[in-house]
């Protein structure tokens, strides 16, 4: 079994072998780490590409712009509106496949226009254990997954990110806002805005890892179990209840199972 340094070396060698890369960059833990290592190894032959859409919060886009500017990395922003994809707004079980196929196809065109050989994305070994239809699009289009190639887990990526002094090493995990809806429930810009505003409130209140799942008029809040006491504090609870109702929710619930990735897949 490879140790962490061996995995890191393997990642560097693999990226170097690709020659030039366009990194799908969301400003999250994984893609920030991947972009940093790619730029360290390849210099200007590594560029960042970020998709702008209504399911990608403005705060994440600003963080992506700030990181690339601070590190002197060329940053390309592409408009990739998922709701314009045929069938996406009906939220089918292969929603993520539709999105990723469209995004990576656009990225391949951008890479070709800029003389970049490969498109790479930031899935890690932990993504192998959940329902991830987006990885089917990755495979079909020949997009490379360097972090999985190096067999890096999420915890290992956070550890290496800390050693590299990346600001994202302890950042909360994030997935696009479209993942907050039960399969089959129609997704709209208005509903995405509700989720975005509700999650932003929780982040502003100091909750570290949050999801607000949208079930019609009901909001199901997922936070880590160690923060259950905080959300049940009278003042904070009332503030959340009032603001969520202003946003458009009628009922507000706390999921006693706590935060977990892929909770919408539990119905599959």
End residue of a domain, out of 141, 163, 185: 163
Q: Which residue has the higher pLDDT, 53 or 244?
A: 244
End residue of a domain, out of 107, 139, 163: 163
Please report, for the domain that includes residue 98, its CATH number.
3.40.50.620
CA distances 242 to 228, 246, 249, Å, are: 18, 6, 10
Kindly report which listed range (69-73, 87-91, 160-164, 242-246) carries the lowest average pLDDT score: 87-91
End residue of a domain, out of 130, 163, 196: 163
Asked whether residue 168 is assigned to any structural domain, the reply reads no
Asked whether residue 170 is assigned to any structural domain, the reply reads no
Kindly report which listed range (8-12, 35-39, 101-105, 164-168) carries the lowest average pLDDT score: 101-105
Mean pLDDT of the region 101-118:
94
Whether residues 39 and 145 fall in one domain: yes
Average pLDDT, the chain: 94
Predicted confidence (pLDDT) per residue in 135-166, tens digit: 898 999 999 999 999 999 999 999 999 999 99
Question: In whole angstroms, what is the distance from residue 31 CA to residue 25 CA?
Answer: 5
Question: In whole angstroms, what is the distance from residue 59 CA to residue 26 CA?
Answer: 11
Question: In whole angstroms, what is the distance from residue 150 CA to residue 10 CA?
Answer: 6
**What is the model's pTM?**
0.91
pLDDT at 264 over 70: no
Whether residues 182 and 226 fall in one domain: yes
- Say which residue the tokens 């600003």 belong to: 62
What is the total count of domains within the chain?
2
Please give the order of strands across the beta sheet that includes 118-120.
75-79, 46-52, 21-24, 118-120
């Amino acid at each position: 079994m490879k140790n962490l340094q061996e995995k890191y070396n393997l990642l560097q060698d693999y990226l170097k072998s690709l020659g030039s890369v366009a990194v799908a960059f969301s400003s999250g833990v994984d893609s920030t780490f991947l972009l940093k290592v790619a730029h360290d190894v390849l210099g200007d032959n590594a560029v960042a590409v970020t998709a702008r859409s209504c399911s990608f919060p403005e705060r994440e886009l600003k963080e992506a712009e700030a990181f690339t500017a601070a590190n002197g990395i060329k940053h390309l922003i592409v408009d990739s509106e998922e709701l314009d994809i045929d069938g996406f707004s009906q939220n089918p079980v292969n929603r993520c496949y539709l999105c990723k196929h469209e995004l990576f196809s656009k990225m391949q065109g951008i890479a070709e226009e800029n003389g970049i050989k490969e498109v790479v994305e930031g899935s890690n070994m932990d993504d192998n254990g959940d329902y991830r239809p987006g990885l089917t699009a990755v495979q079909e289009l020949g997009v490379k997954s360097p972090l999985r190639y190096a067999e890096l887990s999420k915890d290992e990526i956070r550890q290496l990110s800390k050693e590299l002094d990346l600001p994202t090493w302890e950042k909360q995990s994030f997935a696009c806002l479209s993942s907050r809806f039960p399969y089959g429930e129609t997704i709209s810009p208005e509903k995405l805005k509700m989720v975005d505003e509700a999650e932003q409130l929780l982040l502003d209140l100091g909750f570290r890892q949050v999801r607000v799942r949208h079930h019609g008029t009901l909001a199901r809040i997922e936070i880590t179990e160690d923060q259950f006491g905080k959300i049940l504090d009278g003042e904070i609870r009332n503030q959340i209840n009032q603001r969520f109702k202003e946003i458009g929710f009628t009922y507000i619930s706390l999921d006693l199972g706590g935060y977990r990735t892929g909770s919408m897949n539990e119905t599959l």
